[in-house]
Chain A
Amino acid sequence: MPQWHDATAAVDVTEGEPLGCLVDGVPVALFRLGDTVFALHNVCSHGQARLSEGFVEADCVECPLHQGLVDIRTGEPRSAPITDPVRSYQTRLVGDRVEVSL
């Protein structure tokens, strides 16, 4: 059974601006692509960078330290130097809140 945790207000997650937050103590980066909010672990799988400080490029987030690309929807690596996936979490909207399943 997925365990859902409240993350933030849906309006706080805007297109092109990742949002970092702690969800039940876990660092999570939230991204909005159109109507959908996606959640990734907030630490890049390559270096010790926060993806919430990264840059959104189409469907990817670019790591602010080393310019590696990660697919926002899946956490899959899309360019060097990232080779391991970043953990991706399910999200859902409950009223005006975003919830994340850790």
Chain B
Amino acid sequence: MYASSETFVVIGGGQAGAWIARTLRAEGFDGRVVLIGEEPHWPYERPPLSKAFLQGVADAESVTLLGAAQAEAARIECWRGTRVVSIDRAERHVACVDGREIGYDKLFLATGGRVRTLPGLEGLRSARIHTLRTQADALRLRAALTAGSSLLVLGGGWIGLEVAATARGMGCAVTMLEAAPRLCARTMPGVVSDYLLRLHQSQGVTVLTGIGVTGLSEEESGVAATVDTGELLRADHALIGIGIVPNTSLAVACGLPVANGIVADVQSRTSDPDIFAAGDVASHPSGFAGVALRLESWANAQSQAIVAAKAALGRADRYDDIPWFWSDQYTANLQMLGLPDRGSEIVARGAPEKGSGCWLMLREDGTAAGAVAVNAPRELRTLRKMFADGRLPVLSAWADTTIPLQRLPTAPPVVGAGLA
């Protein structure tokens, strides 16, 4: 059957899990590969769940990352719809909730995250109250977003903003509540929050910031949220989009170090040399940030997973990408590079605040913190290359759009860049 007697087991059937399995084969591993996922679906990409898939213009097949035929061709065994309940590191085997067990030579933890619940409302179950993490969640929410209905979005982060944009496109009235004083406050500086606020207001979303939710309940024909000003807000449906919590319990239970996420090195290896972690659940050292990061992005899940698979096969690849992610809202494509909120100085090229341009964020010591591009992928890409080389554009030239991107003079690398 297989030239190698080894078995590699991947726990988690999302973006990271699928890329681990696929990379093992692409790199020539010829042992058994078993991928265990909790969802009934074949591994798929999640970004469309808040956009094209939610709207119904992308179907399940178009978001599938590793389908039945591909899995069969690559000899990847997918155990779908089951969950690992324990890892025995001494015996090197895992057990599933349905009674299946399997021994491993290398193990990969790509268990992702689960949606965060509102404090005090953990047990809340209602047909009108939604969260969004899986295809099933998206289908349920899609059915709720009928034209003319109203949606209350709790949380002004990326998921909330994307769902708000999609819901507006589907003809729904949208009210957004954010407890922080501004949108995306956890990861973005004020200029970006201000832009997002105006963008959504201009599209007819009622955005209320600095408002906490103290209660949420289903009524006869809708939902009602009590907010900390004492007001009661009603809508047909509500979406809770307040982030995810990494699924670290399996790692904790088998004694692997966890700090925010499962602690992994630049090769995605945990403290156990035969166990790797990748994707939303893993924390990794970032040369760019100078600290360990746990990122919840598509690019991170994919790239970290590829390195994990290669490392398990003895390759020397390292994962040290500069953080990068994007968001599509209405007709705006936003791309984020690095850690924009760590900047103290911001220099714009073009007019990102008006929907076309790119902000460059600098740290106090003059090194790169990050960048945010609004409908300006070329600008962001130029900076990505420069950051990777430890360089920055000369700021006066960056701000001058008469100087073409290809001819931007760069400032010499700053000593210590990226290690601050």
Contact = CB atoms under 8 A, between A and B. Distances in A.
> Interface majority SS on B: helix, strand, loop or mixed?
helix
Contacts of A55: 378, 381
> Interface majority SS on A: helix, strand, loop or mixed?
loop
A20 to B, nearest CB: 15
Contacts of B299: 66-67
Interface residues of B, number: 16
Interface string A46-87: 001000010100000010111100000000000011010000
A69 to B, nearest CB: 13
Question: Chain A CB within 10 Å — which of B299, B306, B377, B381 has the most?
Answer: B377
A81 B302 contact: yes
Interface in B57-109: 70
Contacts of A64: 377-378, 381
A65 B299 CA distance: 11
A73 B298 CA distance: 28
A80 B326 contact: no
Contacts of B45: 81
A78 to B, nearest CB: 12
B283 interface: no
A15 to B, nearest CB: 12
Interface in B297-345: 298-299, 302-303, 306, 324, 326, 333
Given A65-B326, A80-B19, A53 B377 contact: yes
Interface string B370-388: 0000000110010000000
A67 B130 CA distance: 32
Interface in A8-53: 48, 53
Nearest to A64: B377
A55 B384 CA distance: 13
Nearest to B57: A48
A49 to B, nearest CB: 9
B274 to A, nearest CB: 24
Nearest to A48: B52
A48 B51 CA distance: 12
A68 B344 CA distance: 32
A46 B119 CA distance: 39
Nearest to B66: A83
Nearest to A84: B70
A80 B377 contact: no
Interface in B383-408: none
B306 A80 contact: yes
A66 to B, nearest CB: 8
B307 to A, nearest CB: 11
A71 B333 CA distance: 25
A45 to B, nearest CB: 11
B141 to A, nearest CB: 21
Contacts of B22: 83
Nearest to B52: A48
A80 B22 CA distance: 11
A80 B381 contact: no
B302 A80 contact: yes
Contacts of A81: 45, 302
B411 to A, nearest CB: 22
B356 to A, nearest CB: 14
A67 B322 CA distance: 13
Contacts of A80: 19, 302-303, 306
A80 B20 CA distance: 12
Interface string B222-243: 0000000000000000000000
Contacts of B306: 80
15 contacts: A48-B52, A53-B377, A62-B381, A64-B377, A64-B378, A64-B381, A65-B326, A65-B377, A66-B299, A67-B324, A80-B303, A80-B306, A81-B45, A81-B302, A83-B22
Top 5 nearest A-B pairs (CB, nearest first) are A64-B377, A80-B302, A81-B302, A55-B381, A80-B306
Given A55-B378, A62-B381, A65-B377, 13 more contacts: A53-B377, A55-B381, A64-B377, A64-B378, A64-B381, A65-B326, A65-B333, A66-B299, A67-B324, A80-B302, A81-B302, A83-B22, A83-B70
